[in-house]
Amino acid sequence: MFWWAVAFHTEHRFTKDGGVAAPEVEDIFADILERAKALDPANARKWFEELTVLHLDGGSLGIGCPDDTTVQFLQDSCKASFTRAAQQITGHLVTVDFRVEASDKLDSGARGSQPGLNDPISQKKRGTGTLRLHPDYTFDNFVVGPSNRLAHASCVAISQSPGNTYNPLFVYGSSGLGKTHLLHAVCFEAQGKFDHAIIQFLSCEDFVNRFIRAIEEGNLPGFQSQFRTVDMLVIDDVQFLREREHSQEEFFHTFNALYNNGRQIILSADSPPGKIPSLEERLISRFNWGLVTRIDPPSYETRVAIVQKKAHVRGIDIAEEIAGYVARKVHANIRELEGALTSIYAVATTTGQPIDLELARTALEGQIEAAARHINITDIIEVVTGHFDVRLADLQSKRRSQSITEPRQICMYLARNLTRHSLEEIGGHLGGRDHTTVMHACSKISQAKDADPKMNALLNDLTKRITQVPQM
């Protein structure tokens, strides 16, 4: 038995009402955090150290977070690992709850006096309800190099003075080069600076899906007023507009309404406006009105700096030699660089070895092999639909019966774990679902995997079959 489990069960750890004495709660909580990091290295972050324990009693652990963004990230990505860690450390069944810790140092006085983006609409309440941002995707965490300098500079300029510099801003580049990161960073920055601004950030698919839903529900005016009255509209991956005529038309009117009112529009895509297949001419021309800027694959030096930055964000000590090794091995895509770092960290925590060149080599062998195999979503869907005897059309439909939901969620989970696709892309393959749906599916299946040995065996079996699908 581990020492902390022993320590936890000794009497002095408990107060009379069955809770745990405060200083010891802190210790236990520190152990839980360490354990959670080890259980899910991909989501381990240095800022976990700033989380606080609100209570640990009655089978429940309350964790205090600095803001909504952190709560969302932990809730979506880390709930399963925190729950498991808490149960392992305390030896009890514990549920975990993330909450914004009430802050007594609200600086609304200082901030509230800042002007909004553009009056008078910005006098309305702050539009953060729908703003789901990834806590890692800030300007601070973004490494600037020759490949992304212009895109970065334009995003910074916009965040300082939205609507007045480049409008619209159109950022394009291949997958995994930092478009979404930059878009989130602008929102973070603008949100902090312009307290009352209504900022709307969403993937293009989400826009299209909400539009379709609004039509089905006969609530087009509601949809229109939601998007045409914001101060800043940020839409990621607009290449999803291709071949969607009605959505393009709606988008065109949204664009005009915002543009004519001097509101900021920021768009990203995998190619420049003119190269997005079957995008209407009038949209192409509007997307070109402002600044169109490209992100290229990063140079070796930028890759080294990115590995170091990512290691820092995760609280991992990594020598320059190792960062250089990773940057030489992985060059196509920054998401893969991160994956490499995660593998190294995972091997280091499970073996207890320091991160040296030898360990990095061992860790990356498997990863590079997996990347070379090029598993794609189609392989996954084929194996999963075959196993459950359902059709792809069922998975893509809106049906919510358990017999369809489960295979659909399993596809999402496996795609997230076995491919390099983003949450948005995975949702796109499975009936145009948004990234939060995919995130929810992943955490649900991963919890089921932990709790249910049968699910664990099934996932292992499916994974084996998928990775053995003969490659072209």
Determine if 244 is a binding residue for ligand ADP (CB under 6 A).
no
* 69 vs 180, beta carbon nearer Mg ion: 180
Q: End-to-end alpha-carbon separation of the chain, Å?
A: 49
Determine if 309 is a binding residue for ligand ADP (CB under 6 A).
yes
Determine if 92 is a binding residue for ligand ADP (CB under 6 A).
no
The rounded distance, in Å, linking the Cα atoms of 189 and 141 is: 13
* 408 vs 435, beta carbon nearer ligand ADP: 435
Binding-site partner at residue 176 among ligand ADP, Mg ion, none, CB < 5 to 8 Å by type:
ligand ADP
| Nearest partner of 184 among 232, 133, 150, judged by Cα | 133
In the complex, least distance from residue 176 CB atom to ligand ADP, rounded to whole angstroms: 5
List alpha helices for 1-94, DSSP H. 3-9, 22-39, 68-73, 79-90
Question: Of the ranges 142-150, 250-258, 321-329, 450-458, which one interacts with ligand ADP (CB under 6 A)?
Answer: 142-150
The rounded distance, in Å, linking the Cα atoms of 111 and 229 is: 22
Got the DSSP string for 449-463? HHH-HHHHHHHHHHH
Q: Is residue 96 a contact partner of residue 83, using CB atoms and an 8 Å limit? A: yes
The rounded distance, in Å, linking the Cα atoms of 29 and 49 is: 10
Strand partners, 65: 100
Among 335, 387, 399, 440, binds ligand ADP (CB under 6 A): 335
Determine if 406 is a binding residue for ligand ADP (CB under 6 A).
no
* 182 vs 323, beta carbon nearer Mg ion: 182
* 137 vs 259, beta carbon nearer Mg ion: 137
* 63 vs 311, beta carbon nearer ligand ADP: 311
* 35 vs 179, beta carbon nearer ligand ADP: 179
* 175 vs 229, beta carbon nearer Mg ion: 175
Binding-site partner at residue 178 among ligand ADP, Mg ion, none, CB < 5 to 8 Å by type:
ligand ADP
In the complex, least distance from residue 335 CB atom to ligand ADP, rounded to whole angstroms: 4
Determine if 180 is a binding residue for ligand ADP (CB under 6 A).
yes
Q: Are strands 264-269 and 291-294 parallel, antiparallel or unpaired?
A: unpaired
In the complex, least distance from residue 23 CB atom to ligand ADP, rounded to whole angstroms: 37
Q: Nearest 5°: phi and psi at 143?
A: -90, 125
* 64 vs 428, beta carbon nearer ligand ADP: 428
Determine if 148 is a binding residue for Mg ion (CB under 5 A).
no
What burial letters (b/e) apply to 22-40, b meaning 16+ CB within 10 Å?
A: eebbebbbebbbbbbbbbb
Residue nearest to ligand ADP (CB): 178
Question: Of the ranges 25-33, 66-74, 175-183, 429-437, which one interacts with ligand ADP (CB under 6 A)?
Answer: 175-183
In the complex, least distance from residue 161 CB atom to ligand ADP, rounded to whole angstroms: 23
* 51 vs 143, beta carbon nearer ligand ADP: 143
* 86 vs 340, beta carbon nearer ligand ADP: 340
What number of residues does the chain have? 472
Among 45, 79, 132, 181, binds ligand ADP (CB under 6 A): 181
Structure tokens at 457: 């065996």
Binding-site partner at residue 118 among Mg ion, ligand ADP, none, CB < 5 to 8 Å by type:
none
Among 25, 334, 340, 448, binds ligand ADP (CB under 6 A): 334
Q: Are strands 52-57 and 60-65 parallel, antiparallel or unpaired?
A: antiparallel
Structure tokens at 103: 């802050």
Give the H or E element holding residue 54: strand 52-57
In the complex, least distance from residue 397 CB atom to ligand ADP, rounded to whole angstroms: 27
3-state secondary structure 357-388: HHHHHHHHHHHHHHHHHCCCHHHHHHHHHHHH
**DSSP for residue 177:** S
What's the Cα-to-Cα distance from 133 to each of 7, 160, 186, 234, 420, rounded to whole Å? 39, 18, 10, 12, 20
Among 43, 90, 180, 409, binds Mg ion (CB under 5 A): 180
Binding-site partner at residue 388 among ligand ADP, Mg ion, none, CB < 5 to 8 Å by type:
none
Q: Is residue 252 a contact partner of residue 286, using CB atoms and an 8 Å limit? A: yes
For the segment 410-439, give every residue that binds ligand ADP (CB under 6 A). 422
Binding-site partner at residue 142 among ligand ADP, Mg ion, none, CB < 5 to 8 Å by type:
ligand ADP
Give me the residues that bind Mg ion (CB under 5 A), please: 179-180
Give me the residues that bind ligand ADP (CB under 6 A), please: 136-137, 141-143, 148, 173, 175-181, 306, 309, 334-335, 338, 422
